[in-house]
Structure 1
Amino acid sequence: MIATAMLAVALPISLQAQPLRGAVGAPPPATMPAPSAAAPASAPAPTPAAYTPMRPMSESVAAIVNDEIISTYDLAQRMRLLIATTGVQPTQDNLQEFQQQALLSLVDESLQIQELKRVQKDQKVSIIATDDEVQDELSSMAQQNNMKPDNFIAVLKSQGISSQTLYDQIRAQMSWQRWIRGRYGTRLRIGEDQIKATQARLIAAASKPQYEVSEVFIDAGRTGGMDAAVKGAAQLVAQLQQGAPFAAVARQFSGASTAASGGDAGWISQGEMPPEVDTALEQLRPGQLSQPIPVKDGVYIVYLRDKRAGSGQTLVSLKQAAIALPAEATAADVAAAKTKLEGVRAQIKDCATLEATVGKTPGVVAGDLGEAEIGDLLPEFATAAKALQPGQLSQPIRTKVGLHVLAVCGKRAAGAAQVDHDQIESRLTGQQLSMISRRYMRDLRNSATIETR
């Protein structure tokens, strides 16, 4: 499965996220076991007020972002929300990490809303989500948790969380996604050469081991440097080992494009992740969690959900346009048929329209050859199928029974999922938008006046 395109900002909040499966056997030296399967699916977070730093306090200034104040009340509320939605148990050791993450989120959301207000004023467009849109999103979140919106809010209020805290987070995330997609999504063009290159790479990698992975990425540029990112990742790993649901942690802490889907990166092959992550995955067994993995721009935490061996066999889905031509046909007959078939070939746009296009030319027939292993094809067909990528057409091929143009409609390793053109395009688009969003936010932070108290 290829993950669908999403921005780096996480939207869904789940109060019923599932924990990781237990580790299978003892982990290798560079790994640690995933949380026990016996861990509860969503351990109720203790009331934050039970911890001294979370007790009600007189409101003061926690930070100033371009003259806009973030109060200590706002900060405490966001900390409570993080605890309630991640399933991470607050302790004296990790409260500082909660406070840092809460403050980073509030600062980013403040910068986002300030930027969106500026854009709205300059361009006279509506970008910031309305109250009704926020309520609709809340209703959708409640439905995902098999709850009514009022009950959903009541659960948060029982843990000392104001509904306005959740509304503000939803509004900022919805609005920022809308702006990034609206401004850049329509301009972003993923070329066919990029898609075909990705298809070819995935097909080539299908013979190698494949991994079903969930990920959390801690952006060092956002957290104040690599040391802080490593420290924060180590604390999250400790909490995940104790039963915090991976998906909920990814939604709130991850800076990857998969954050909104709970860190689900789907099935990947070697080369799709940074080399450091590939090395870690080779050492993991299904059900195991990695230690923090430093890479160029931050730190990864990966959870290996499953693993499968690569296949040496390649399956292709083929269609053809053909002219019947006996083996004893004259050279003149072969040349005439080739000219006719090349004319039809030039009109075929894709596999979906092949039959309709071929049907317009008398003497040329279309056929769906289905899916088969390349090794089982006629030698002449096998040679073409190996060289062609999905969506490409062969030159006319002579056999004992006729002249054929093959269309490769799909290609995959035996036992692997079909390599889908639209899924690859969606994934590449999501990666590009995620990168744009992260760069945009870095520029906003660098140009802003941010003072923390």
Structure 2
Amino acid sequence: MRASTPAYTMSRPMSESVAAIVNDDIISTYDLAQRMRLLIATTGIQPTQENLPEFQQQALLSLIDEHLELQELKRVEKDQKFPIILNDQEVRDEITDMASNNKMTADQLLASLKSQGIAEDTLFQQIRASRSWEHWISGRYGSRLRIGEDQIQATKARLVAAASKPQYDVSEVFIDAGRAGGMDAANKGAAQLVAQLQQGAPFAAVARQFSSSSTAAAGGDAGWISPGEMPPQVDTALEQLRPGQLSQPIPVKDGVYIIYLRDKRAGAGQTLVSLKQAAIALPADAPAADVEAARTKLIAVRSQIKDCATLEATVRNTPGVIAGDLGEAETSDLLPEFAEAAKTLQPGQLSQPIRTKVGLHVLAVCGKRAAGAAQIDHDQIENRLKGQQLSMISRRALRDLHSTATIEQR
């Protein structure tokens, strides 16, 4: 079953006129008024004479984007002959999830919107366009994206290096200057949103409707970040904020950020490392010839170890060499001979043979994280990088559609 208009719609006024034309599609003044009502209802922002023009502009931009997205999806459906656009049941499932997040049923949510003069079809069409576009971008490009291991390790190394710095738990709204009509318009829109947020508008709802960031679908939740993960202007603002505070608009190269600082923690003073070892027992007074022979054997074994997961199996085949899992420990608690290697090596790297009073050891660093900070594993980093790339691809694809479209605003 393909997408169709829900049975319930509000009566359309006889006096409606054309608000915009997107290629051959008409956006009526009724459509625009409905979308403005939906924005007001879902963000909790109180309409005023000052912010109504911003609501109208945002509503019109959203409708234009959605028409372009649906036009492109219909073209792809026709060429590829398989469904892409969500059908009514799929849209209703999305609404059910949305209502559940607000501790409501879908019928209660739709009834609440109806009481505010918002037609069911208005919400249906917004969700149909946005979710269909997200699913298509993810399906078309997600499987093609290849996040290199070097990218993941570089990100992990940067996070480890930043662990000693303050960390911030933030929510964000990003107003794309290109979409808003320039930096002046983006700054003005951001200032109006800040004023409404200060008066109690829910940050998550505002982010979902107004933000162009990849975090918009999650209500702007960017999680814990360290200095260097966002533009320098945002880092500077974060240094001045206290938990629970909202920033003023923060202009950056291509738009404007609004940041809400949920929490802040000092940088970890220690680094936790997970270690394994390959070792040969040698007393402190072992002859130099024995030490050198053991060193030669360990270097040969070291060259055969591919990673932490295969260390034990590799060492097992070499007589006189033992393998051991040293677990996770703070670098300050390690033997001085081990601590230096643990600090300088990155996860997956092996030390050269290290002499101690009891033997000769090759250390393998299997993991490294800041003490007291949540560990971000390999898959989390990969998913974060993939999400950022998909968001950029989506914005680029929409910009391309804008550049080739005929759009007339009345």
Partner AA of 2:381 in structure 1: I
Counterpart code for 2:164:
S
Among 106, 109, 113, the alignment partner of 2:70 is 113
Per-residue Cα deviation, 1:34-76 (whole angstroms, up to 9, x for no partner): xxxxxxxxxxxxxxxxxxxxx9672221111011111112111
- Return the match for 1:161 from 101, 108, 118: 118
After TM superposition, the structure 1 = structure 2 runs for residues 52-451 of structure 1, keeping only pairs within 5 Å, are 58-330=15-287, 333-359=290-316, 361-451=318-408
Q: CA deviation at 1:331?
A: 5.1
Alpha-carbon offset, residue 310 of structure 1: 1.8
Give the counterpart letter for 1:184 in structure 2. Y
Aligned equivalents of 2:404, 2:296: Cα separation in 1: 64
Partners in 1 of 2:197 and 2:83 — Cα distance? 40
The count of residues paired between Structure 1 and Structure 2 equals: 399
Whole-angstrom distance in 2 between the partners of 1:245 and 1:56: 32
2:392 corresponds to which letter in structure 1? M
Distance (whole Å) between structure 1 residues aligned to residue 41 and residue 157 of structure 2: 44
Identity of aligned residues (%): 81
Go from structure 1 to structure 2 and tell me whether the alpha carbon gap of 1:405 and 1:124 turns closer, same or farther (over 3 Å shift).
farther
CA RMSD of aligned residues (A): 2.1
In 2, the alpha carbon distance for the partners of 1:327 and 1:130 equals 75
Q: 1:165 to 1:364 in 2, by over 3 A?
A: farther
Distance in 1 of aligned mates of 2:88 and 2:100: 18
**Cα separation, 1, equivalents of 2:122 and 2:299:** 65
Whether the 8 Å CA contact 1:57–1:73 is kept in 2: the answer is no
Q: Which amino acid aligns with 1:257?
A: S
* Contact map agreement 1:79 1:98 (CA 8 A) in 2: yes
Instruction: Say which is worse superposed, 371-380 or 168-177, in terms of deviation.
Output: 371-380
Deviation at 1:116, TM superposition (A): 1.3
Greater relative CO (CA pairs within 8 A, separation 6+): 1
- Tell me the residue number matched to 1:46: none
Contact in 2 for aligned 1:212/1:267 (Cα 8 Å): yes
For residues 238-294 of structure 1, what are the alpha-carbon distances to aligned partners after superposition, in whole Å with 9 as ceiling and x for unaligned?
000000010110111001111111111111111111111111111111111111111
* Counterpart residue identity of residue 190, structure 2: A
User: What's the CA shift for 1:170?
Assistant: 1.4
Q: Give a deviation string over 1:173-221, Cα, whole Å, max 9, x none.
A: 2211122112222222222222222222222222222211111000000
Q: CA deviation at 1:357?
A: 4.8
AA in 2 matched with 1:149 = A
State the distance in 2 between where 1:99 and 1:409 align: 54
User: Structure 1 residues 125-134 or 426-435, which shifts more?
Assistant: 125-134
Q: 1:385 is matched by which residue type in structure 2?
A: A
Distance in 2 separating the partners of 1:120 and 1:344: 57
Query: Structure 1 residues 89 and 317 mapped into 2: Cα distance closer, same or farther (>3 Å)?
Result: same
- What runs of 5+ residues in structure 1 fail to find an aligned partner? 1-54
Equivalent residues of 1:80, 1:161 under 8 A apart: yes
Measure, in 1, the Cα distance between the counterparts of 2:304 and 2:106.
54
Contact map agreement 1:390 1:410 (CA 8 A) in 2: yes
User: Residue type of the partner of 2:192?
Assistant: Q
In the alignment, what sits opposite 1:11? none
Deviation at 1:328, TM superposition (A): 4.1
CA distance in 1, matches of 2:74, 2:89: 18
Tell me the amino acid that sits aligned with residue 425 of structure 1.
E
Q: Which moved more, 1:173-182 or 1:328-337?
A: 328-337
Contact map agreement 1:410 1:419 (CA 8 A) in 2: no
> Quick one: distance in 2 between partners of 1:102 and 1:386?
53
Name the aligned partner's letter for residue 212 of structure 1.
D
Asked if the contact 1:319–1:406 (Cα under 8 Å) also holds between the matched residues in 2, the reply is yes
Structure-2 separation of matches of 1:395 and 1:61: 74
Instruction: Report how far residue 87 of structure 1 moved.
Output: 0.9
**Cα distance between partner residues in 1 of 2:167 and 2:158:** 13
Distance 2:129 2:322 in 1: 57
Partner of 2:246: helix, strand, or coil? Answer: strand
Following the alignment from structure 2 to structure 1, what is the Cα–Cα distance between the partners of residues 272 and 213?
32
CA separation in 2, counterparts of 1:257 and 1:338? 51
**Which deviates the most, 301-310 or 411-420?**
411-420
Contact 1:277 1:293 in 2 (8 A): yes
C-alpha spacing 1:381/1:120, structure 2 compared with 1 (3 Å): same
Amino acid at match of 2:72: E
What is the aligned partner in structure 2 of residue 3 from structure 1?
Answer: none
Distance 2:375 2:279 in 1: 26
How far did residue 361 of structure 1 move?
4.9
Shifted more, 96-105 versus 127-136: the winner is 127-136
248-257 vs 198-207, greater mean Cα deviation? 198-207
The offset of 1:341, in angstroms, is 3.8
Choose 361-370 or 257-266, whichever is displaced more.
361-370
Match of 2:6 in 1: none
